[in-house]
């Protein structure tokens, strides 16, 4: 995929969904119709204890990411588990954001058991 094509896909939140949402008020078609996202649009960005002059997602180039984790047993016997940390890019259209090429696997945590301090693995990502 060329950079121009991918850049156009990344404008889904700012362009395509914004137009669709405006034409169907009160309808939930995507995460961007949710209450939490709509509240963030009205809030100023805060970093540490400093309030910045712009709101969340006020720039069409802002990227909306989602984080997910889950454990699985890679072998038939459930004695060992592995945990995977994934990042999804919600700026992509819904039919593309969960495709294998668009999912970022940021970490795999080997077993034998669930990590006791998951935050220590997530902290470098944040």
| In a shared domain, residues 34 and 13 | yes
Scanning the structure block, which residue is given the tokens 């850049």?
7
| In a shared domain, residues 68 and 122 | yes
| In a shared domain, residues 126 and 75 | yes
- Confirm if 111 and 28 have CB atoms less than 8 A apart: no
| In a shared domain, residues 16 and 68 | no
Range of the domain at 77: 63-126
Q: Which of 10, 36, 62 is the last residue of a domain?
A: 62
| In a shared domain, residues 21 and 51 | yes
| In a shared domain, residues 3 and 52 | yes
Number of domains in the chain: 2
CA angle (119 as vertex; 117, 124 as ends), nearest 5? 130
| In a shared domain, residues 67 and 126 | yes
pLDDT at 21: 66
In terms of Cβ atoms closer than 10 Å to its own Cβ (0-12, 13-18, 19+), residue 66 is exposed
| In a shared domain, residues 42 and 68 | no
* Closest of 91, 92, 126 to residue 106, by C-alpha: 126
pLDDT at 23: 62
Instruction: Please list the rounded mean pLDDT of every run of 10 residues in the chain (126 residues).
Output: 78 77 72 89 94 93 89 76 89 92 88 73 73
Q: Which of 26, 47, 62 is the last residue of a domain?
A: 62
pLDDT at 118: 72
């Amino acid at each position: 995929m060329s950079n121009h094509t991918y850049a156009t896909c990344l404008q889904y939140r700012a362009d395509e969904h914004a137009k669709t949402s405006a034409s169907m008020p009160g309808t939930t078609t995507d995460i961007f119709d949710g209450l939490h996202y709509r509240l963030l649009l009205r809030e100023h960005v805060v970093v540490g204890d400093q309030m910045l002059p712009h709101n969340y997602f006020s720039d069409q180039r802002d990227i909306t990411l989602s984080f997910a984790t889950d454990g699985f047993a890679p072998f038939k016997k459930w004695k060992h588990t592995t945990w995977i940390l994934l990042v999804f890019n919600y700026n992509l259209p819904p039919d593309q954001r969960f495709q294998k090429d668009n999912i970022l696997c940021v970490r795999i945590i080997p077993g034998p058991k669930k990590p006791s301090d998951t935050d220590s693995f997530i902290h470098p990502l944040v």
